[in-house]
Structure 1
Amino acid sequence: MMAHLGFHVGWLLLLLLLQPAFGWINLHEVYKIVNEIPDVDVHKMVKSAENDIKDVDQVLKKVATGVQDLTDVILSALEKVDHSGCKCVDYNCGCCLDLKIPSIQLDDTARNPPSICFDIPNLKEIASACVEFYDLDISSSNFHGCIRVELELIHVKLVHEDLGCFNIPVKENMT
């Protein structure tokens, strides 16, 4: 309140000093104009900032829950891998194989395929996640690969986490 009073007094003194240069100044009108200048409510600004921080905290908690859900899905999928190179998650199944065609010297592999990205449920407007499989390799004894997860919030990368690598044994007749 004291700063507010000092602000008004400062304006009035300035106008009184400038009065000879500009002619007669109606002090009642000056005071009325000065009183219309809005006060800055620092307490209200701090409360608003605290609420914004709480909102961001809630969004980050939802993102963390989404990461945990994604991790559970990936681990569940890895548990369902059979040794034929095929795997199923719920009713979605897929098979991978190493394609070697020696007659035309084609060895097509997917050592570092592109990331698989998707929106996080209930946050699709502001948050997305990507799963990246990398360092994929298949040998006569196992299938090796690594998994990385990235999370973005409003197009800003928040999390870039390596989940680790896996080695899955393969049947000898697979390669």
Structure 2
Amino acid sequence: MKRAVVKIEIGSKDDGLISSAMGQIKYPARPRLRIGVKRVRVSGYINPDPLDKNSKCECAHHSCGCCVHLEAEIIELNSKLCTQVTYLSKSYGISFILDLNDKVIVNKTTTVEELSHKCYNVPQSKRVVQICVGFYKVEESNNQLSCCLEAILNVKNDRIARAVFGCFHMPASHV
């Protein structure tokens, strides 16, 4: 099992630092970062699913868990963001858990058709901070689910970082 650290660093327009490694970030950085963001770091650990070498998720049977490390000095955020996705069945949908530093932010069951980008407020943040989680490339066939997952860090409705967890494939749990 190989492990690697993924790190994305961006800087404000003033300091000119814009770099990324094994992550995805939109370039050029938006000059709307008026809140004084100097540095944002997003890192995660990779444990590739044999079906997707770029995945940062670990899967077992009908469930996948993914984690990234989010750090933004200006908002005093230094946290581990994790998701747990369990494919129940075509009729039941998925169970989705999102936690920040082992505190559950979201725990819900939803249909596959309802999977999309949803934003959740970061509890006890000093500024208006949201973590948005998005499912994309969602395909359900033969009682299996394949999809990709990303997280976006927003401060005052401005996107300041994006981390791509990767893609995973799960059979249904036959609940």
Same fold (TM over 0.5): no
Task: Report the structure, 1 or 2, having the larger strand content.
Answer: 2
Higher RCO, 1 vs 2 (CA within 8 Å, ≥6 residues apart): 2
**TM-score scaled by structure 1?**
0.43
User: Looking at CA atoms only, which structure, 1 or 2, has the larger radius of gyration?
Assistant: 1
Structure number with higher helix proportion: 1
TM-score with structure 2 setting the length: 0.43
